[in-house]
Amino acid sequence: MRIVIAGGDGFCGWPTALYLSKKGHEVTIIDNLIRRKWDDELRSNSLTPIASLKDRIALWKELTGREIRLYVGDLNHYDFLRTALEQTRPEAFVHFAEQRSAPYSMIDREHAVFTQVNNVVGTLNVIYGIKEVVPDCHLIKLGTMGEYGTPNIDIEEGYIRIVHNGREDVLPYPKQPGSMYHLSKVHDSHNLMFACKIWGLRATDLNQGVVYGLHTDETMMDPALVNRLDYDGVFGTALNRFLTQAAIGHDLTVYGEGGQTRGFLNIRDTIRCIEIAAEHPADSGEFRVFNQFTEEFSVMDLAYKVRRVAQREGLNVRIAHLNNPRVEKEKHYYCAKNTKLKELGLEPHLLTDEVLRDILLTACQHKDRILPQNVLPQVTWK
Ligand SMILES: NC(=O)c1ccc[n+]([C@@H]2O[C@H](COP(=O)([O-])OP(=O)(O)OC[C@H]3O[C@@H](n4cnc5c(N)ncnc54)[C@H](O)[C@@H]3O)[C@@H](O)[C@H]2O)c1
């Protein structure tokens, strides 16, 4: 299959590109490399030293004989995107290329505007590009479980059956996003649903949970293929921050009570879910939604797990509670459905102590790269 991976230099996109290339697909990466510039802006870095995208791709070819085509450019530049689509004519377009940090989107007005323009306009351009150049192409778009928020009822996969005043309908599940970033994803979902309905495009919205893990079989083929790992207060997830804090002897900083519960999945399952979606495309005119996560944990669950694994490695780790810089419920009901990808063949890799130990040891190995001032929150919602 001819597959475009937009955002192929990022944490999810890079291992996905390698995996699909190894499976024999013709992979093209589109990326404007802006994630690396945000590291400079925030005086931050990936815990793992990552090679330039060109060098990574050249090494992949040397090791496997497989070519990955590269277009360096911005999805917000329509002429660039259109040319890339005309030259590659993808059958599947995997769209990871967005600003994905909630705290980054909440820094100030400029960052909120940037995030929503980058994400919403980028996705609109992808929609129009597919409509004009490759209307049969299956768009696989990364959304987030954060679009739903934390309602006091079960979360369905995209749609909910509602009976109201004696009448019944299946409607989009209500969205209660918790940041300007999560709002951008909701706007994307609405635009996609509309485009599928009026132009007969085919799209799958993958409402992804928090992704953890680092290595995949392909990124482990050479140290220079290693994936990025974000640990800072802006781009790092709670789990990555805790593991990094444990490596440098810092308290594990739980925001508020720590009862915030979310869906999680291993990076190995992210790449498999993309493959499953590509192998089973949405029908023409269909806007399909899958909830892409395998397990649910609260922030305290994660802190206890990291403390246990770190203590076994001889690290002295304490848990501390900080005033929550976000505006969110710290204790709430959470039960989300996630059966559709499993029905199509997903076999989950679970969050075992082995997986945690593996990332912890990587953090210890690169301890000298960790910037201690970055493991604390720097952005507040208020
Ligand atoms: N990482 C997670 O835990 C997680 C969870 C849920 C959803 N997601 C979604 O998955 C996708 C990928 O996440 P990630 O963690 O790999 O993010 P990432 O920041 O590591 O990668 C995103 C990539 O997209 C590129 N990019 C951004 N805007 C672009 C533009 N306008 N034009 C071209 N390239 C652009 C960046 O340079 C970067 O390489 C995002 O859409 C994110 O919202 C991620």
Q: What is the pLDDT of residues 361-375, one digit of tens each?
A: 999 999 999 999 999
Residue 154 inside a domain? The answer is: yes
pLDDT per position as a tens digit, 6-41: 999 999 999 999 999 999 999 999 999 999 999 999
Ligand 1 atom showing the smallest separation from residue 76 Cα = 31
| Torsion sign over Cα 308, 310, 314, 317 | negative
DSSP state of 10: S
pTM here is 0.98
- Which residue numbers are catalytic? 144, 181, 185
Ligand 1 atom showing the smallest separation from residue 73 Cα = 33
Residue 65 inside a domain? The answer is: yes
- Band (pLDDT 50/70/90 cuts) for residue 118 is very high
Q: Please indicate whether residue 177, judged by its CB atom, sits closer than 6 Å to ligand 1.
A: no
Q: Long-range contacts: 308-312, Cβ < 8 Å, 24+?
A: 308/353, 309/353, 309/356, 309/357, 309/360, 310/246, 310/360, 312/353, 312/357
The pLDDT of residue 366 is 97
Residue 321 inside a domain? The answer is: yes
Backbone angles phi, psi at 322, to 5 degrees: -105, 155
Residue 263 inside a domain? The answer is: yes
> For residue 375, how far is its CA from the centre of ligand 1 (angstroms)?
21
> For residue 169, how far is its CA from the centre of ligand 1 (angstroms)?
34
Residue 82 inside a domain? The answer is: yes
User: How many helices and strands in the chain, by DSSP H and E?
Assistant: 13, 14
The enclosing H or E element of 67 equals none
Residue 247 inside a domain? The answer is: yes
Q: Hey, whose CA ends up nearest to atom 15 of ligand 1? A: 11
Distance CA 344, CA 340 (A): 7
Q: Which domain holds residue 49?
A: 2-375
Q: Hey, whose CA ends up nearest to atom 29 of ligand 1? A: 97
Region 249-253: mean pLDDT is: 97
Domain with residue 246: its CATH number is: 3.40.50.720
- Band (pLDDT 50/70/90 cuts) for residue 157 is very high
Tell me the two tokens of residue 119.
Answer: 């994400």
Distance CA 206, CA 290 (A): 5
Return the best residue to mutate from 4, 52, 100 for the ligand 1 pocket (most ligand atoms within 8 A of CB). Answer: 100
Q: Please indicate whether residue 96, judged by its CB atom, sits closer than 6 Å to ligand 1.
A: yes
| Torsion sign over Cα 108, 110, 111, 112 | positive
Buried/exposed 326-342: b ≥16 CB within 10 Å, e otherwise = bebbbeeebebebebbe
Q: H-type helices in the chain, by residue range?
A: 13-22, 34-41, 53-64, 78-88, 102-105, 109-116, 122-133, 180-199, 238-247, 267-279, 299-312, 340-343, 353-365
Q: Hey, whose CA ends up nearest to atom 39 of ligand 1? A: 10
Region 130-148: mean pLDDT is: 98
How much is the mean pLDDT over the chain?
A: 98
Q: Which of 278, 345, 305 is closest to 25 using CA atoms? A: 278
Residue 381 inside a domain? The answer is: no
- 3-class SS letters over 218-276: CHHHCHHHCCCCCCCCCCCCHHHHHHHHHHCCCCEEEECCCCCEEEEEEHHHHHHHHHH
> For residue 52, how far is its CA from the centre of ligand 1 (angstroms)?
17
> For residue 167, how far is its CA from the centre of ligand 1 (angstroms)?
40
Q: Hey, whose CA ends up nearest to atom 35 of ligand 1? A: 97
Q: How many other CB atoms sit within 10 Å of the CB of residue 223?
A: 11
Residue with tokens 């308290």: 251
Region 192-196: mean pLDDT is: 98
Q: Are strands 138-144 and 69-72 parallel, antiparallel or unpaired?
A: unpaired
Residue 380 inside a domain? The answer is: no
Strand, coil or helix: 31: strand
Return the best residue to mutate from 5, 35, 74, 188 for the ligand 1 pocket (most ligand atoms within 8 A of CB). Answer: 35
The pLDDT of residue 369 is 97
Look at the chain and report how many structural domains it folds into: 1
Q: Which of 5, 25, 24 is closest to 16 using CA atoms? A: 5
| Torsion sign over Cα 207, 213, 214, 219 | negative
> For residue 12, how far is its CA from the centre of ligand 1 (angstroms)?
7
Distance CA 240, CA 18 (A): 23
Contact (Cβ atoms closer than 8 angstroms) between residue 254 and residue 303: yes
pLDDT per position as a tens digit, 223-233: 999 999 999 99
Distance CA 330, CA 322 (A): 12
Q: Please indicate whether residue 178, judged by its CB atom, sits closer than 6 Å to ligand 1.
A: no
The pLDDT of residue 174 is 98
